[in-house]
Structure 1
Amino acid sequence: MTDTTDVTGGRVCIVGAGPAGLSAARALKRLGIPYDQYERHSDVGGIWDLDNPGTPMYKSAHFISSRSTSGFFDFPMPDTYADYPSNRDILRYTRGFAAAYGLRDAIRFNCAVQHVEQVGDIWNVTVPDGTVKQYRAVICATGVTWAPRSPEHPGTFNGEIRHSSSYRNPEEFWGKRVLIVGLGNSGADIACDAAAHAEAAFVSVRRGYHIIPKHVFGIPSDEFGSHGPDLPVKLERPLMQTLLRVIQGDLTKYGLPKPDHKLFESHPLLNSQLLHYLQHGDVAIRPDIAGLDGDRIRFVDGSTEEIDLVLYATGYNWSIPYVPEEYFQWRDGRPDLYLSAFNRDHYNLIGLGYLEINSSAYTVFDHVSNLVAQYLHDQYHLPARAAAFDRLIAEDRPELSGGLHFLDSARHRSYVDARTYRRYLAKVRKRMGWQDLTPGLFGDLRCEQSVESANA
């Protein structure tokens, strides 16, 4: 059955009601753009809801960006939150945001979009009951951490092998000898849980990492960086490296390999606990895995460890399973989108949240959502200006690395530098004559009780 009523009102489809989808919804609502929003789970919050099937979240998880530099525009996190809020606070905050701006009414929960197909300038969206609803645009905002990626190693293993996406509670480690594979931010967090709860804890790494403490001189690291002068990388990097050496010393003495890349050339690893546990011998670093051998894991340096549980903290494959793969230009597992949002080949197929960036995502979502909403608004009200932006989508290929030479990996080949990205978004917005994100644009809710009252 096909419902054709949606196109006549210029309706837009948003898939997903996590932070990115909610940001898009608020931006569309502000400009009076009619939309429907679909969420496969029973509530908003995305990965921050531990009850959301498939979420990679775990009980000890916290934001790796600080309260003061994170959050949606015009909706700051309460001052009562910790410098680095817990997953519970982030979920409460996100749901409070949805309630405060009246976003829940347009969301159809427990409704996973099955298929999206383009027919001319119309988008057919199939929902679980088989109904095909028609829209002029589709915003994909379902995130990038739903398809776990695990390596394969030769041999057989008698213990348990899992991906970190299945990990929830440090009590899972009691009485076990645990090996964490990978040292991204989640791997480092989980390694700390294992260090405090497991019989023995190890981390297998392939390369060295620059570890940035969460506080510098008692100030959250990202706040410390954002409030300082906007220095070029060639000056900022040596200053930060010197500061880290003074604070941390030589990390190789704890078994970590020397990094094979410069500071800022990979996703920042923010952790203050890992060095504590390494210094106290509660967790140990091991090299890459060579193979599996019954009850033991063999490493490339010839050493072995008896292990009960291997937990792969090895990341995720990006996918948008409800959209045909050929609708996106996938390169190294990442969709090629203008400004990390606009499809170059399929009109009004938009992705929100499909980027790697060295900053808090929530504010970035808002800046991109602002452009998306104004572009969709112009299509009906200022078509000439929308056509000018269509030309940018087709032709403009900005360099968004900020002069940083990121690691040669699939993840980092899609990386953008936060400062450079925000500046370029502002440049495009100014060029198009679109409205800036000025205070009060979305309705300033700056009282500390805003989150709690919205959740009441």
Structure 2
Amino acid sequence: MDRELKRVWVPGPVIVGAGPAGLATAACLKKRGVPCLVIERETCIASLWKMKTYDRLRLHLPKKFCELPYMKFAPETPAYPRKQEYILYLDAYAKHFSIEPILGVEVRLAKYDSTMGFWHVQSNEFEFVCQWLIVAAGENAESVIPDIPGISYFGGRVFHSSLYGNGADYKGEDVLVVGCGNSGMEISLDLCNSGAQASIVVRNKLHVLPREMFGISTFGLSMWLLKRLPLRLVDRFLVLCSWLILGDTGWLGFKRPEIGPFELKDSTGKTPVLDVGTIAKVKAGQIKVVPGIQKFTTTGAEFSDGTKSKFDSIIFATGYRSNVASWLKDGELFDQEGHPKTPFPDSWKGKHGLYSVGFTGRGLLGISMDAQKVAEDILQQWSSETKHLRMEL
């Protein structure tokens, strides 16, 4: 028989997740005088950044686009903060706003009681009862490894990129990196710089853009242009500049989609890759580009073009997925894949006091936008209820 849960009444919102999304939302609520409770399944805040990112990671966007609400980076922080610098920023952020999550609390079930008008959020030990529930567990809760034939027969190391630290242990090895997003490209570069022979799987068309154009952040330049010019014209400009800076990446194996990078992002959610040196290594023959995998063998892989290669290790840089659908019994705000049904910019609000933060596919900038909207919306209800209570007294 299951043991009885300790029921805890929470006067303000319950925030599930103590990553950047949860911290930003808690700070925005505190700024408005609304108390909240943050719960986190791991043993620390920002667990993805602290426990599942590689050593050489830097933010891909300039720091001004990655700041959380009401707190800037320290002036000495470089334009593109390193992993450890961002972790220090998040720790300082939590301390500055006195955000103290309850750690080690994994939500197993969250459901709305329409009779009483409250949410019941159950973990292995507690049942939190609240009027507002904010889902800030993020899009990257669980690592994804695709089911490719023969993977169980491969005799070398196989793991997800969330377990990759640096290339020191792979010197002299042939390593296959499956996935050509920003993580896959950077891990391939790190392996190459560490003395490994890296091969990267490029199965689909993708946009590769330089991180900077003419000494300016590509993202920052794009945001400036999009305020003044039509999206498709900005896309054409970016592709032209990328061709001038990086050359024709098609002959390297990185074929561009027919539509531009921002139009593709808006229609499919697929983010362009910001190059930090990988393309130069591919041009020099130091990183190999291979097509999609047909199947794995005991010693390596067979590719869609019929070629075969041997590898010592395989790293899956194949991303993450949301786990919200496994515990949230809602059916309104989130779909079965754990993503909001309503597209950006209106994906942050559901019914019955349910909210989401960090599910826009727009990174840290999207998190800040969501957090402000959610906090302001809850404030209006909080102020109204407080006023009503004062009148009753």
Matched length:
368
- How much does 1:238 deviate? 1.8
The 3-state SS of whatever aligns with 2:188 is helix
Listed as ranges, the matches of 1:231-380 within 5 Å are: 231-264=229-262, 265=264, 266-320=270-324, 321-324=326-329, 326=331, 328-330=333-335, 334-337=339-342, 339-343=346-350, 346-357=351-362, 361-380=363-382
Amino acid at match of 1:46: S
Contact 1:62–1:85 (CA under 8 A) maintained in structure 2:
yes
- How much does 1:332 deviate? 5.6
Counterpart in 2 of 1:418? none
Counterpart in 1 of 2:222? 225
The 3-state SS of whatever aligns with 1:256 is coil
The 3-state SS of whatever aligns with 1:193 is helix
Structure 1 outlier segments of 4+, above 3 Å: 1-5, 226-229, 257-261, 324-329, 380-383
- How much does 1:102 deviate? 2.1
Q: Kindly tell me: are residues 99 and 332 of structure 1, through their superposed partners in 2, closer, same or farther at Cα, counting changes over 3 Å?
A: closer
Q: Percent identity?
A: 24
Q: TM-score under structure 1 normalisation?
A: 0.75
- How much does 1:263 deviate? 2.8
Q: Which runs of 5+ in 2 are unaligned?
A: 265-269, 386-393
* CA distance in structure 2 between the partners assigned to 1:275 and 1:237 by the alignment: 20
Which of the residues 108, 117, 129 maps onto 1:114? 108
Q: Kindly tell me: are residues 199 and 363 of structure 1, through their superposed partners in 2, closer, same or farther at Cα, counting changes over 3 Å?
A: closer
Q: Kindly tell me: are residues 233 and 118 of structure 1, through their superposed partners in 2, closer, same or farther at Cα, counting changes over 3 Å?
A: same
Contact 1:116–1:323 (CA under 8 A) maintained in structure 2:
yes
Counterpart in 2 of 1:402? none
Residue 135 in 1 paired to residue 142 in 2?
A: no
Contact 1:255–1:284 (CA under 8 A) maintained in structure 2:
no
- How much does 1:296 deviate? 2.8
Q: TM-score under structure 2 normalisation?
A: 0.86
Identify which range, 311-320 or 281-290, moves more after superposition.
Answer: 311-320
What are the superposed Cα offsets for residues 348-402 of structure 1, whole Å, 9 maximum, x if unpaired? 1222111212xxx33432322222122222224348xxxxxxxxxxxxxxxxxxx
- How much does 1:185 deviate? 0.7
- How much does 1:330 deviate? 1.1
Contact 2:293–2:304 (CA under 8 A) maintained in structure 1:
yes
- How much does 1:215 deviate? 1.6
Q: Kindly tell me: are residues 257 and 375 of structure 1, through their superposed partners in 2, closer, same or farther at Cα, counting changes over 3 Å?
A: closer
Counterpart in 2 of 1:417? none
Amino acid at match of 2:134: I
Contact 1:60–1:86 (CA under 8 A) maintained in structure 2:
yes
Counterpart in 2 of 1:413? none
* CA distance in structure 1 between the partners assigned to 2:24 and 2:63 by the alignment: 18
- How much does 1:154 deviate? 2.3
* CA distance in structure 2 between the partners assigned to 1:191 and 1:25 by the alignment: 36
Counterpart in 2 of 1:145? 140
- How much does 1:44 deviate? 2.1
* CA distance in structure 2 between the partners assigned to 1:298 and 1:99 by the alignment: 51
- How much does 1:150 deviate? 1.7
Q: Kindly tell me: are residues 100 and 71 of structure 1, through their superposed partners in 2, closer, same or farther at Cα, counting changes over 3 Å?
A: same
Contact 2:239–2:260 (CA under 8 A) maintained in structure 1:
no
* CA distance in structure 2 between the partners assigned to 1:326 and 1:232 by the alignment: 36
Q: Which runs of 5+ in 1 are unaligned?
A: 384-456
What are the superposed Cα offsets for residues 213-271 of structure 1, whole Å, 9 maximum, x if unpaired? 11211222222333456211132122222211111111123233344543321312111
Amino acid at match of 1:37: V
RMSD, aligned α-carbons: 2.3
